[in-house]
Structure 1
Amino acid sequence: MAIATVNGPQNTVIAGLQAALTPVLDDLHNQGIRTQYLEVSHAFHSPQMEPILPLFEHMAQQVTYQPARIPMGLNVTGQVLAVGDTLEPQYWCRHARQAVRFADGLQALHKQGLTRFLELGPHPILCGLGRRVLAGPNLTWLPTLRRGQDDWTGLLDSLGTLYEQGFTVDWQAFDRPYGRSVLQGLPPYPFQRQRYWFEPPATLTPIPTATAADCPTQDFYHLTWTVLPSLSSLPAEVSGRWLIFMDD
């Protein structure tokens, strides 16, 4: 049994054989600590992964690795990979066997000045974990996809949030598949008091108006007679108040 993941100060995952996990979970339950089983195929990030590591490293050596173009948080070391550095196949073997230091990696990225975090995945799980690690009014957590929600809606919501915060969006690239025109240079928020109304033409041409004689009333009204039952068909005694309209 081993610690598999440290997601935050109050969220830790342990992995191992079920026979070893059961007494530990029972003890945590007796202490009032909430636990939950994770249904997975293997006990990842634990000694149970060691038999496959030689083959895994052999497969990892077949991959061509490129230097990092942006800083990248590393879950194995909890540090940041600098631009220009390259990961080795051995790193991914350690990643499969050792604990995931998610909280440390997130804090390392935050120390580098990162305040906006975009999660790429089918449902926002890491955003919730990240909020428990880093707290503050200046942090933004954005999902891309959300279970039960239209994919396009989720992507546009996050893109709109980034645009409101001042990020430059390549709208021409965004609209290229749709072949539609794009308005450029509009203010990102309503507090920029600059008007964008179309200027009126220099000369105005009067529009002819119709006279009363040109408006035939028969086009707007249609007389209709409605057949009502005769008085003889009504009950002999009729109660209530009646209002009768008639000609002179």
Structure 2
Amino acid sequence: GEISAAVAAGVLSLEDAVRLACARGGLMQKLAGGGVMASVAAPAGEVRERIEGLAGVWVAAVNAPESVVLAGESDAVAGVVEELTAEGARCRWLPVSHAFHTPLMDPVLDDFAAAIGELSFAPAQIPLVSTVSGELAGADFGSAAYWVEHARRPVLFADAVEVARELGVRVWAEVGPQPALSAVMPEREGEVVTAFMRRDRDQQTGVLTGLARLHVHGVGVDWVKLVPSAGRVEVPTYAFQRRRYWAAGSVGSSAGSLSGAG
């Protein structure tokens, strides 16, 4: 997600972002297996206290005040998860191959730094909030060193959300194969939180549904880009008229238009 944000802000070109993602993914897959991750529905502070001093287990992400991801060595994490589950906390194992965002990534970080050392980074064109620091991103965001830290440090998403709120952000749209972060974000008054894709629906339906939700909450959507030939139409003023107004043709095609069907 943060790589995508770097592209949107002009820090990385799409080509360099792909190179960064491929380099990171390829190196991580070369690591020995055995690392695990589990989501825990419990206060972040209590979880941190629980694992303090324990070897082989770390907080890999804090997605919300009561949504934490633990990661590390299999036995160490399993012991903590067992205790938390017995105490009534909802825990769920994540389908991952390694313990990302933990010191278990250390063996590949030097190679990762070398692999992305020649990428071109530019100053951000829009404000960005770092999930490494949980604060407004600085100049270090556009450097190879930042992305090395990003691979091993915990994801401070909850902190980043609060900083973004302080900056005036009120619209949250999650782009991914399944709602994850938006699912644990409580929607505050005056905010809209939506996801664009779900596993149980095709991508086109998911994106359009997400955009429609933003639209009805007052967010400007450039519908002309989705239905280029569409124009405004008069819609029925009475429910019993039962006329439907659909976009005819495929979304994004030049054949798209709005028409009424009796």
Once residues 28 and 174 of structure 1 are traced to their aligned partners in structure 2, the CA distance between those partners, rounded to angstroms, is: 47
Gaps of 5+ in 1: 191-248
What is residue 221 of structure 2 aligned with on the other side?
169
Distance of aligned partners of 1:139 and 1:98 in 2 relative to their CA distance in 1, 3 Å threshold: same
Cα deviation for residue 105 of structure 1 reads 0.6
What is residue 231 of structure 2 aligned with on the other side?
182
What is residue 68 of structure 1 aligned with on the other side?
124
| 2:198 is aligned with 1:146 | yes
Distance of aligned partners of 1:181 and 1:39 in 2 relative to their CA distance in 1, 3 Å threshold: closer
Contact 1:144 1:158 in 2 (8 A): yes
Q: Which amino acid aligns with 2:197?
A: L
Once residues 224 and 102 of structure 2 are traced to their aligned partners in structure 1, the CA distance between those partners, rounded to angstroms, is: 48
CA RMSD of aligned residues (A): 2.4
1:71-111 deviation digits (Å, cap 9, x = unpaired): 222110001226x8852111111111111101001111111
Once residues 38 and 169 of structure 1 are traced to their aligned partners in structure 2, the CA distance between those partners, rounded to angstroms, is: 34
3-state DSSP of counterpart to 1:117: strand
What is residue 105 of structure 2 aligned with on the other side?
49
What is residue 189 of structure 2 aligned with on the other side?
137
Once residues 96 and 119 of structure 1 are traced to their aligned partners in structure 2, the CA distance between those partners, rounded to angstroms, is: 21
Equivalent positions of 1:21-170 (< 5 A) are: 21-81=77-137, 86-131=141-186, 135-170=187-222
| Greater fraction of residues in strand | 2
The structure with the larger Rg is 1
How does the TM-score come out when normalised to structure 2? 0.62
| Greater fraction of residues in helix | 2
3-state DSSP of counterpart to 1:73: coil
Once residues 58 and 129 of structure 1 are traced to their aligned partners in structure 2, the CA distance between those partners, rounded to angstroms, is: 36
The alignment-based identity, stated in percent, is: 32
| 2:76 is aligned with 1:20 | yes
Q: Which amino acid aligns with 1:107?
A: E
Distance of aligned partners of 1:183 and 1:26 in 2 relative to their CA distance in 1, 3 Å threshold: closer
Once residues 168 and 27 of structure 1 are traced to their aligned partners in structure 2, the CA distance between those partners, rounded to angstroms, is: 47
What is residue 6 of structure 1 aligned with on the other side?
62
Distance of aligned partners of 1:94 and 1:156 in 2 relative to their CA distance in 1, 3 Å threshold: same
Q: Which amino acid aligns with 2:224?
A: Q
Contact 2:140 2:146 in 1 (8 A): no
3-state DSSP of counterpart to 1:72: coil
3-state DSSP of counterpart to 1:19: helix
Once residues 109 and 140 of structure 1 are traced to their aligned partners in structure 2, the CA distance between those partners, rounded to angstroms, is: 14
Gaps of 5+ in 2: 1-56, 238-262
Q: Which amino acid aligns with 1:99?
A: P
1:95-129 deviation digits (Å, cap 9, x = unpaired): 11111101001111111111110111112111112
1:43-75 deviation digits (Å, cap 9, x = unpaired): 111111000000111122222122222222211
Once residues 160 and 39 of structure 1 are traced to their aligned partners in structure 2, the CA distance between those partners, rounded to angstroms, is: 31
Once residues 87 and 174 of structure 2 are traced to their aligned partners in structure 1, the CA distance between those partners, rounded to angstroms, is: 34
Structure scoring higher RCO (CA < 8 A, sep ≥ 6) equals 2
What is residue 44 of structure 2 aligned with on the other side?
none
